Amino acid sequence: MNGTPRILNRILIGILGAKLLAIGILLIVLATVPAAGIWWKTWAGGVWSLWQDLFERTRFPGRPESWLWIVVVLLLLLVVGAMVAWVAQQGKGRTSLLVSEEDPGDVPGNVRIGSGVAEQAIRAALADRPDLAGTTVATYEFRGEPALKIRIQPRQGVAPHRLAEEVSLLVEALDVALGKRTPVLIHIASGARSRFGRVERVR
């Protein structure tokens, strides 16, 4: 529901994982195969000589520094900028308003209800339930309007369909109180708290 680029994140994590796996395999091979160690020393020495020669040939006139260092710094700045932009994309879509409408009554005005009202009301209604291991409520902008995402972690032995029905009744009561129907996503998840927490069976 939020603006997190999940596909891009998975691609980047896959590339990073493949690189780390390749580095790990290479280190194991270098540590266990003597011939691979000899090859690595020869190859690395040749690459280091090429880089040294390249920096020698790209020096500023009359100075010992190479202008390639400027290129390296610019590339690092681009990488840092790309990382900052990537981090800024995570979790986007949150909104602080649940209702924002014009009231053309006797005293015209703008009616605004913060998202915290609905979030706190639903969390409070589900807080003391022994059949839940955890509850998270957040408000996101979905297709131009605010929507609620309710994530609940039932304990073992709890029927998910009954839990979804009960949460739906809470949401309908909230709609009646607010006077506006709000799109809602109910996410029933399992996790470590559900599996290893104290089990309370619902009968």
**Which residues lie across from 109 on neighbouring strands?**
103
Domain locations along the chain = 6-88, 97-196
What does the alpha-carbon distance between residue 73 and residue 55 come to, in Å, rounded to a whole number?
15
Q: pLDDT tens across 54-71, in order?
A: 888 888 887 778 888 889
- Per DSSP, the three-state class of 111 is strand
Give the chain's residues under pLDDT 50.
194, 196-203
pLDDT for position 3: 60
CATH 3.30.70.1350 fits 97-196, yes or no: yes
Distance CA 41, CA 179 (A): 74
pLDDT tens, 161-176?
Answer: 888 888 888 888 888 8
Which residues sit opposite 149 in a β-bridge?
138, 185
The radius of gyration of the chain's CA atoms, rounded to the nearest angstrom, is 28
What is the distance between the alpha carbons of residues 17 and 144, in angstroms, rounded to a whole number? 36
| pTM, full prediction | 0.52
For residue 70, give the H/E element and its range: helix 68-88
Burial status of residue 110 (CB atoms within 10 A of its CB: 0-12, 13-18, 19 or more): exposed
CA atoms of 146 and 1, how far apart (whole Å): 11
